[in-house]
Structure 1
């Protein structure tokens, strides 16, 4: 427990370690390759969640939305570990690095469990071809119903017209009977 308290009490203290430049024999090329690679990875890892958030805003109806948020958090934390690694060349805060890696590990496993939970559901989603076929069947059924409805309306109209004609004929017959008597 004492080590844990010490860890958090000295979270921002870097006096226990030298900057990474002074650990081992880094050539300028090797060090800057490491640093620039970490910065490039960090940039991509921060751009990806921005794109995911933009996508979510455009399609808030997307299934499995929590998984997208978990991916975003996972990617941001991964990127954070890379920028901290780059900064350690000048600011050797290995405690912050360790804590960031710990949170990255937690969110990584939460994401794994969410994927294990949701992937079977995602695999049951209909494929675009299946949805297209279903839409075509429904449109065909709607067209058939529309045609049948139009036929029924014409038949009903004809029946009304015939009924009207029959009533007119009955009235004419009754008038003729009355006139002949």
Structure 2
């Protein structure tokens, strides 16, 4: 018997019953279609079996509602019962799987958790970006420092080569005196050691000044010749403006001082007691010289008379002693070799009771520092200038 008879074939009731089942059927057909579409487009979805069970369950539910419409007019209840059995089996399976997946589903992050994780990832990404920028700046800074170090190393190497050439030239000149070595071997070796020692003292005097790599002209002169005198305070005087000399200038001036002082101490004790050395220097401007100002260095040896040294004796006054003349090599060294290295001129005069040596050279020839030292000082100055800026 059709199910419509149970409804007494009331038109409005039959229409309401059939219309409701039809709407439920259409909805239950659309929902599985939407779920299947999601599964096809999202291949990374982890719980695909659960979604498939839900789609099957909803689809069978829709078919049972369709059979509810059919049985209003056609009593095919066995088929309807079979469909309901299948729907029940799928429903139980879906419920069983769903309960098994409850712990897994509870671990699925909530939107708030997603937002929090995204925020943390953004902070981490910002930190990584900042670290990357700092690393790039550090690498760039280290690269620049390495370039500067290589530049300073190249300058230092070039300066060392230049200094070695100068020293080799000077030492080569010192080992070729005008007299034969075989005639005065001991004297030659003593003077050679003294000249080389003068160069070493000059270099050490300059290198003691770590910050400037220069030394005062007065210190260079005094440190070279004071050890040769018994009473340097009475026998030696220096006077002149403050002049800072570089390594090469100090070496050449020290060699001049040693050459003249060693010659002075070779005279007798009495002559030494009456002798006095005055070293003076001035800075002369030279408009005609493109190098600028010149240094005029004067070495003056004067000797007092015997009456001046002994007022109480009744001896007759005798004139001051005559200075020792320069030997051939000393004259060459003082008037040709050293002035040429300093791009200057040297001359001397000998008179009774007086010896005078005068050297004139450009200021930049004695004050110039090596390129490596200049680069190092410039870098120190730039670093000192950058410190307040970084602190600010």
Query: TM-score by structure 1 length?
Result: 0.80
The residue aligned with 1:21 is 4
2:149 corresponds, among 153, 157, 163, to 163
| CA deviation after TM superposition for structure 1 residue 40, in Å | 0.8
| CA deviation after TM superposition for structure 1 residue 177, in Å | 3.3
The residue aligned with 1:44 is 27
The residue aligned with 2:72 is 89
The residue aligned with 1:65 is 48
The residue aligned with 2:116 is 133
Cα pair 1:81 1:97 within 8 Å, conserved = yes
Greater strand fraction, Structure 1 or Structure 2 = 2
Cα pair 2:64 2:80 within 8 Å, conserved = yes
Q: CA–CA distance in 2 between the matches of 1:152 and 1:89?
A: 85
Greater helix fraction, Structure 1 or Structure 2 = 1
Q: CA–CA distance in 2 between the matches of 1:156 and 1:128?
A: 46
Provide Cα deviations, 1:126-174, integer angstroms capped at 9, x if missing partner.
Answer: 2233233322233233223323322332233224323322432332233
SS of equivalent residue, structure 1 residue 23: helix
SS of equivalent residue, structure 1 residue 61: coil
Query: TM-score by structure 2 length?
Result: 0.39
The alignment of Structure 1 onto Structure 2 pairs a total of residues equal to: 164
Query: CA RMSD for the aligned pairs?
Result: 2.0
Provide Cα deviations, 1:68-110, integer angstroms capped at 9, x if missing partner.
Answer: 1111111101101100111111222111111111111111111
The residue aligned with 2:59 is 76
Provide Cα deviations, 1:18-68, integer angstroms capped at 9, x if missing partner.
Answer: 221233523111111111111110000000111112222232222322211
Q: CA–CA distance in 1 between the matches of 2:7 and 2:38?
A: 44
CA pair 148-131 structure 1, distance change in 2 beyond 3 A: farther
1:173 corresponds, among 159, 177, 200, to 159
2:130 corresponds, among 135, 144, 147, to 144
Can you give the 5+ residue segments of structure 2 that lack an aligned partner in the other structure?
169-392
* Aligned structure 1 segments of 4 or more residues deviating by more than 6 angstroms: none
SS of equivalent residue, structure 2 residue 101: helix
Cα pair 1:42 1:79 within 8 Å, conserved = yes
| CA deviation after TM superposition for structure 1 residue 118, in Å | 1.8
Moved more, 97-106 or 55-64: 55-64
* Match status 1:124 vs 2:110: no
Cα pair 1:64 1:118 within 8 Å, conserved = no
Q: CA–CA distance in 1 between the matches of 2:125 and 2:105?
A: 26
**Structure having greater relative contact order (Cα 8 Å, sep ≥ 6):** 1
Can you give the 5+ residue segments of structure 1 that lack an aligned partner in the other structure?
1-17
The residue aligned with 1:4 is none
